Chain A
């Protein structure tokens, strides 16, 4: 075989690039094959209307600071346009609430709620610490091997070290729903609505769905810029992160090829032989690492005939059905949100007036309908970053839910109606916004699936929940970045510790490959 030491990475998303950079840094011969015309996947900044650019993943909150440091992302051009974004919970009346990692301010907030918020942040941060401690670990297998037992023991110890009361509390709430927990702690409906949104963004669940506390914890388990739950907007959009990663990888000697969609993983009996591009070109490699989601990798690129039935079934059954759409608006001027000052407008705005509103929005999706009154996480990144829009014009980027992957009517029919429902909802908070819109792009999960090749259009490459976490992610038996096929590895968000522009899965996969 030619190039027998060659490592091919399928997909140049952030995890693929991080994996490539670490491997190249260790002296390996790495080639990244990206289908799109630029690297980054859903974490790329792309032009959606002439002169207007936005990133599908639009906020940075989980990027691992050690990865930033190891790969010297700052010196490769990564700069924050704005860090420490606050959350503004929008109210139709204009009486919004401002939520920072430390305190609340705004109308109609009781002193009890303010005090409860400090305590809520304290224990949520502490519990998230248990999860963040796992991010850079290869999940142990459930075996009687000494190393696995020790790793499991360490995890248990970490939980025990929370102290008796907090450990009890974590065990009590860790797998239940955010609705009950917020109901126990707070009175203000708007506050509860906004906090519950953190638990369900990008997931296929509502506030009352089980283990939505876990997803809330996962979201705040990052150490971006050194602070848990810190929200940042990079200069040049989130795509600047992946551009810096690609630059780092290339500097270490990795090759990155764009416009090179991989069609097939090639096998020679039991051995990985390389990959085939959709144009028919074959690239030989002894190791293939897939940044594509596990379901696509194993069922489409590799094919079930190379897997035993039980294994194929597990990959096939990964829950990966996206329920979030992405809205990009090109605006001719800054929109006017009721009661929101121009400085506040640059923060994270959320539409989730109360938990019932969020749950009702979710209800639709259970029956294959989109939410008639959607929830949204909105940023206007052009306020901090003039590279994203022409002079004086702006970009509004919003995650809008719920938009089930399998819409009953089909998205070709439903897309216009959902876009209208979203604009109608926005108009309730920013009257007249429709008149400012120059161009609209709405990416449904179906669009996300097609454009970014993610099964089900799910950002996390598979639902992030306790049954698909740690040694169960993506499936039991393949949670250590290795697959049942020797020489084929997974490095994407479908692996532990999941998605959200973190990079940890890519780094962990590189660790495993380097240890072989």
Chain B
């Protein structure tokens, strides 16, 4: 499949596309359940959410990231354009490097987050959770830049877990182990170009593979052949959700309301309010939201996104957070029992001034045992570090698992 031609009057009749990996996903999908992710069919769980999760922590899991919205940004003003669009200083992103960033509206409220791939000198790919082409083009006024959404032109697979590097080497990607975190490189794959980046959404050792959709199925096949002795397994979005919460990664529409979707303007979040102040570079010149964010820095933020370590073992899903005196402090955005951290963990959005690391709070958890609902106030505390952050995530070259 190729970039949708919107001048084709019938293009809207296709609501959801099968991924270029669909035929292979179908073979693995024992539960025969499909969900929708953006423009594509996605798999919530192929067989068992927990086992797929453990493949991501103990061996390696394969997750189809084709549905992620992708944009190609080129032209003489690509860098100044991206630097005005993004909160972080894109000029520091050298060719062959990937950077995580957020982008804001003029009020300093986060529109979306995503990754910027500096593919080759002056050529960038921006991946986002939500469709962004409208905003990206709006922001391009006055810049000599060319922006296309090429989601359909690139097939993507995430290979995540401790054995991922070994599998890629087994597949014949020479020297892939020298890739440092957030690095990218190009490899020959049966005569076509395969781009590999050491990135992912699991907080572990892992890679993302990017290839022409016509070669998607072959890539899947070669990968599973190469990983047959290293526990490779297809992974669904439910498992990925667990992995990303452990890694402390935020998700648009969960941790924050994308600013362009907000009907109630006070329900959005700034980068500071999401704990992403480190992504805001005030010394690079004008970028979108700068004025408002400087103001916020001076006057203080309304919210803090925090990590909670909660007593007990009941997932604090959708819970309210209170002070130890029973006063409202905020709400949980994502929560789970973490099999790797062996703890009940959560991400929560707290009203300022709450959220200092070490602060003792309580969460109100509703839970069910054999159809009987109960409620418990579990003590919890704000923690600074992410719940899962193994050394192998950064180690280069990775150990040979």
Contacts and interface: CB of A to CB of B under 8 A. Distances in A.
Contact of A303 (B83, B138, B142, B287): B142
Nearest to A306: B286
Q: Which of A303, A304, A307, A313 counts the most B-chain CB atoms under 10 A from its CB?
A: A304
Contacts of A310: 105-106, 288
Interface size class of A (residues with CB under 8 A): 10 to 19
Interface string B90-105: 0000000000000001
Contacts of B139: 309, 312
A309 B291 contact: no
A308 interface: yes
Interface in A293-334: 299, 303-313, 316
A306 B287 CA distance: 8
Contacts of A311: 106
Contacts of A313: 138, 141
Given A269-B285, A304-B84, A484-B291, A309 B141 contact: yes
Contacts of B285: 267, 269, 305-306
A299 B142 contact: yes
A123 to B, nearest CB: 42
B143 interface: yes
A311 to B, nearest CB: 7
B85 interface: yes
A501 to B, nearest CB: 30
A44 to B, nearest CB: 30
A270 to B, nearest CB: 8
B141 A304 contact: yes
B289 interface: yes
Interface in B157-211: none
A305 B105 contact: no
Contacts, number: 53
Contacts of A299: 141-142
A307 B105 contact: no
A305 B106 contact: no
Contact of B142 (A267, A269, A304): A304
Contacts of A304: 84, 141-143
Interface string B73-95: 00001001101110000000000
A308 B106 contact: yes
Contacts of A267: 285
A311 B142 CA distance: 11
Contacts of B81: 305
A307 B80 CA distance: 12
B288 A308 contact: yes
Contacts of A316: 141-142
Contacts of A308: 84, 106, 286-291
Nearest to B294: A270
Nearest to B77: A305
A310 B135 CA distance: 10
Nearest to A302: B142
Given A304-B84, A305-B84, A312 B289 contact: no
B40 to A, nearest CB: 29
Interface string B58-86: 00000000000000000001001101110
Contacts of A309: 84-85, 105-106, 135, 138-139, 141, 288
Contacts of A484: 291
A303 B288 CA distance: 14
A267 B138 CA distance: 24
B271 to A, nearest CB: 15
A85 to B, nearest CB: 43
Contacts of B85: 309
Contacts of B286: 270, 305-308
12 contacts: A270-B286, A305-B77, A305-B142, A307-B142, A308-B106, A309-B84, A309-B85, A309-B106, A310-B105, A310-B106, A310-B288, A312-B142
Given A304-B84, A305-B286, A312-B141, 15 more contacts: A299-B142, A303-B142, A304-B141, A305-B77, A305-B81, A305-B285, A308-B84, A308-B287, A308-B291, A309-B84, A309-B106, A309-B138, A309-B139, A313-B138, A313-B141
Interface of A: 267, 269-270, 299, 303-313, 316, 484
Rank and list the top 4 A-B pairs by shortest CB-CB distance, nearest first. A304-B142, A310-B106, A309-B139, A316-B141
Interface of B: 77, 80-81, 83-85, 105-106, 135, 138-139, 141-143, 283, 285-291
